[in-house]
């Protein structure tokens, strides 16, 4: 319960934490099952909160998708969460680029490539990156 009091966790995260604390695997599964039944643990809630948190930190959908997969959230749930998130990824990409590099579009290929790599690392799609250069902030 202490783990869930601080923030939402995926089932996989809870299993990992409890295994590190050397609890029996059957006990872990029973506890997680009970928490899920009582709606104290929800992968859907975790995915929604995580998506909101990471997007507010300037990360794009592709990066968030990968991180949720690593945390054991199902692909279908990830897709639904990202679709239903009220996030303008194009605007976010532009905001992140302008915050990091300034509002002026890069003049030469080298600077543009550097900014594109940065946005790609942050998890934005090619279309979102391209659009972030085409529109003024």
Q: How far apart are CA 49 and CA 67, in angstroms?
A: 13
Residue among 126, 48, 114 nearest 82 (CA):
48
Lowest mean pLDDT of 34-43, 62-71, 109-118, name the range: 34-43
For the segment 69-107, what is each residue's pLDDT rounded down to a tens digit?
Answer: 999 999 999 999 999 999 999 999 999 999 999 988 898
Task: Report the pLDDT value the prediction gives residue 134, as an integer from 0 to 100.
Answer: 84
In the chain, the percentage of residues whose pLDDT exceeds 90 is 81
Q: What is the pTM of this model?
A: 0.90
Q: Domain 89-134: which topology?
A: Arc Repressor Mutant, subunit A (1.10.10)
Could you state, in order of their start, the residue ranges of all structural domains in the chain?
Answer: 8-84, 89-134
Total count of residues recorded for the chain = 137
């Amino acid at each position: 319960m202490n783990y869930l009091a601080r923030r939402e966790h995926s089932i996989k995260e809870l299993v990992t934490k409890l295994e590190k604390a050397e609890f029996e695997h059957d006990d872990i599964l029973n506890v997680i099952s009970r928490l899920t039944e009582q709606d104290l643990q929800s992968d859907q809630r975790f995915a929604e909160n995580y998506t909101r948190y990471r997007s507010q930190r300037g990360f794009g959908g592709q990066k968030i998708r990968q991180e949720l997969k690593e945390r054991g959230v199902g692909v279908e749930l990830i897709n639904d969460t990202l679709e239903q998130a009220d996030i303008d990824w194009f605007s976010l990409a532009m905001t992140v680029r302008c915050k990091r590099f300034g509002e002026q579009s890069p003049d030469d290929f080298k600077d543009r490539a550097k900014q594109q790599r940065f946005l790609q690392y942050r998890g934005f799609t090619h279309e979102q990156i391209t659009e972030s250069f085409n529109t003024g902030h």
